Amino acid sequence: MPKPKAATDATTESPVITVLRQHAEEQFAEELSELDHADAGKQRPPNWRLSPWAVKQYLLGGTLPNGFVITPKYIGNERLIEIAVATLATDRALLLYGLPGTAKSYVSEHLAAAVTGDSTLLVQGTAGTDESTLRYGWNYALLLVQGPSTAAMVSSPMMRAMQDGKVARIEELTRIPAEVQDTLITILSEKTLPVPELNTEVQARKGFNVIATANNRDKGVNELSSALLRRFNTVILPLPATMEEEVTIVEGRVAALGRALELPAEKPALEEIRRVVTIFRELRDGLTTDGKTKLKIPSGTLSTAEAISVMNSGLAMAGYYGDGELRASDIAAGLTGAIVKDPVQDRAVWLEYLQTVVKDRDGWKDLYRACQEVL
């Protein structure tokens, strides 16, 4: 897949980023380069850009011996990242599993970027995904003229990953129809992709592996067969364990997205982030942080990703329709929209929470009034 080139400013000749979101290997190219230098001498699996030590360092962040700081891409259980990286060095594929919004896709992208320097070999799983998406397709104009030939074949991301010894990514594996999922069994067990039309096969080069993601809210949609599940090592990515972890994640991602989107608003106060995270955690747990009040749980997941979305929506409101300073009135609509997925059940849960918790909490009167106005 050709990578988009940065535009160039005619006056300064400096690269100007025009894409909305760069691939991980482009956005963090300097960090990957520094890790490559720091990694010298360490054993790397075949065709890996970095050693397992450096891949872990890239995901979790830290300071290199030369003082260069690697920003954390994942904040959470260190052991889970070690297991994920070690899995990719074996003949087992990796399945990242968990609730929506637990950074499965984000971790998948950064693992592929660090391991092979290419996170673009991606298959998006949907109900309409067919076998050609995972195997190969045909250029029908050439097929009609030449018949089956190498020139008429259209390689899938999976095939290119096998040919180049890279990591292929599959998003939302459980949304792919079961009969299409089973296409992966031969690929993962035999490391080959048969091409019967040409009486040949594609054999995977060293370095090839697969990272798939699936969320447990899709359980029962297209469950994985036991034969396919055995080909994966499953790593469950949980929601952040502590309030501080979640606040740190939201703060970092909101700052990064705000810069990328060039939102004309000031950095949100840490207290505003903490309020949103507190609400999400309490409603997820069905209990206030002090353990004194039991709460009804809404139907939504209220994930960390949704908290980030609420904050960014608020920054956009503050920047374009306010004075640039994030206030309770700016996040009220986004907060209500994230919580109230069912207009009857969730609205009742949210109203009860506002009355029993938010209304009487010190320093939260402004949020209470703003949310009441939205409702």
Q: Dump pLDDT digits (tens) for 193-251.
A: 999 999 999 999 999 999 999 988 766 567 888 999 999 999 999 999 999 999 999 99
Q: Specify the pLDDT at position 220.
A: 57
CATH class (in words) of the domain with range 7-236: alpha beta
Q: Specify the pLDDT at position 8.
A: 45
Q: Which amino acid, one-letter code, is at 317?
A: M
Burial pattern 26-63, b for ≥16 Cβ within 10 A else e, equals: bbbeebbebbeebbeeeebbebbbbbbbbbbbbbbeee
What number is the average pLDDT over the span 321-346? Answer: 95
Q: Are 318 and 330 within 8 A, CB to CB?
A: yes
Q: Specify the pLDDT at position 223.
A: 84
Q: Specify the pLDDT at position 40.
A: 86
Query: For a pLDDT cut of 90, what percent of the chain falls above it?
Result: 86
Q: Are 236 and 117 within 8 A, CB to CB?
A: no
Residue 61, C-beta contacts closer than 8 angstroms, at least 6 positions apart: 69, 70, 71, 72, 73
> Across the chain, which distance is largest between two alpha carbons, in Å?
76
Q: Dump pLDDT digits (tens) for 137-158.
A: 999 999 999 899 999 999 999 9
What number is the average pLDDT over the span 7-19? Answer: 55
In this predicted structure, the answer to whether residue 6 has a pLDDT above a threshold of 60 is: no
In this predicted structure, the answer to whether residue 5 has a pLDDT above a threshold of 60 is: no
Q: Dump pLDDT digits (tens) for 252-281.
A: 999 999 988 899 999 999 999 999 999 999
> In terms of pLDDT, which residue wins out, 44 or 20?
44
Domain ranges of the chain: 7-236, 243-374
In this predicted structure, the answer to whether residue 2 has a pLDDT above a threshold of 70 is: no
In this predicted structure, the answer to whether residue 178 has a pLDDT above a threshold of 70 is: yes
Question: What are the CA-CA distances from residue 367 to residues 79, 306, 312, 319, 373 (Å)?
Answer: 38, 18, 17, 19, 10
Lowest mean pLDDT among 18-22, 136-140, 332-336, 344-348: 18-22
Question: What are the CA-CA distances from residue 137 to residues 134, 197, 210, 263, 287 (Å)?
Answer: 9, 11, 20, 41, 52
What number is the average pLDDT over the span 319-341? Answer: 95
Q: Specify the pLDDT at position 218.
A: 66
In this predicted structure, the answer to whether residue 114 has a pLDDT above a threshold of 70 is: yes
Whether the full predicted model's pTM is greater than 0.85, yes or no, is: yes
Q: Dump pLDDT digits (tens) for 277-296.
A: 999 999 999 999 999 999 99
- Taking all residues of the chain, what is their mean pLDDT, rounded to a whole number? 92
- Per DSSP, what are the bridge partners of residue 212? 95, 170
Q: How far apart are CA 335 and CA 350, in angstroms?
A: 10
Query: For a pLDDT cut of 70, what percent of the chain falls above it?
Result: 94
